[in-house]
């Protein structure tokens, strides 16, 4: 079992739900990324998601795309990200997973990437551009290494295919709340809860919901049906506004996360 499996076993046993923030590695630099991860973990985040910058992201909206561009403009390399993660994960009370393009894994070598990621304390990977029909090799490597392979189900995924995705995933299923790209939204789809409820009947894996979640009312509405919620663009936007007072930005992000975690609390 990976650390992600252990996390959700513990959460389900206690009746708690996971708050899962996303940050881009190297935006605006790796030192700041480490500070944000420490703050989010200290505030009680159950799991932190670290985005690996990529020049051609498949589903990210303008806020996260811009963060990737800022990081790449600093010539951030995957090896540098691994070095930063190796230093920060021993200080965190929660698992870290990477959001990473399959192209990056393929270029490094699937087994080599997974082993390197695990060696620095990463517990799994979300690979948004990995087709389930082509996931067997990576899924096999991840199973051997006790490394979670987290795959995405979208509102337009045919139900038969959604079941297949669930069967080849591990750790949890990332349920995309809206059709389209990441980004803050005023309202989530009316059929979201029904779709997640159906998927829950098809799998024992935890289901965590992301894309578009930025407000306490979103979190409160999803808490009864989701095992966790993922919040990215709203946090990345605050980082984009980082100027000279970095400590204040880190503190503001922590306070924002705390407000959403309060909304996530449901009766066990």
Report the catalytic residues.
Answer: 49, 60
Separation CA 172–CA 166 (nearest Å): 9
Separation CA 208–CA 46 (nearest Å): 12
- 8 Å CB contact between 117 and 147: yes
**DSSP tag of 94:** S
Sign of the CA dihedral with 182 first, then 187, 189, and 194 last: positive
Run of H or E residues at 96:
strand 96-99
SS3 for 15? coil
**DSSP tag of 190:** T
- How far apart, in Å, do the first and last CA atoms of the chain sit? 25
- On the question of a cis peptide bond just before residue 196, with omega within 30 degrees of 0, the verdict is no
Percent helix / strand / coil, the chain, rounded to 5: 50, 15, 35
């Amino acid at each position: 079992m990976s650390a992600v499996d252990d996390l959700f076993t513990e959460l389900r046993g206690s009746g708690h739900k996971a708050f899962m923030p996303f940050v881009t590695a190297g935006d605006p630099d790796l030192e700041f990324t480490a500070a944000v991860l420490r703050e989010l973990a200290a505030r009680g985040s159950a799991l932190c998601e670290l985005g690996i910058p990529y020049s051609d992201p498949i589903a990210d909206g303008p806020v996260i795309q811009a963060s990737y561009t800022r990081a790449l403009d600093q010539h951030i390399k995957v090896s540098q990200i691994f070095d930063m993660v190796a230093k920060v994960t021993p200080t965190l009370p929660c698992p870290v997973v990477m959001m990473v393009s399959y192209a990056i894994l393929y270029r490094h070598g699937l087994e080599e990437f997974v082993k390197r990621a695990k060696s620095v304390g990463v517990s799994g990977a979300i690979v948004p551009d990995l087709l389930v029909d082509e996931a067997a090799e990576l899924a096999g490597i991840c199973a051997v290494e006790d490394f979670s392979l987290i795959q995405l189900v979208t509102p337009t995924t045919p139900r038969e295919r959604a079941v297949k995705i669930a069967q080849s995933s591990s750790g949890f299923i990332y349920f995309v709340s809206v059709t389209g790209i990441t980004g803050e939204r005023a309202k989530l789809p009316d059929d979201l809860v029904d779709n997640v409820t159906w998927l829950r009947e098809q799998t024992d894996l935890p289901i965590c919901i992301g894309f578009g979640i930025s407000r306490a009312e979103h979190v409160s509405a999803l808490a009864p049906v989701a095992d966790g919620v993922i919040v990215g663009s709203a946090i990345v936007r605050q980082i984009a506004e980082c100027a000279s007072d970095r400590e204040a930005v880190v503190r503001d992000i922590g306070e924002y996360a705390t407000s959403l975690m309060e909304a996530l609390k449901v009766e066990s």
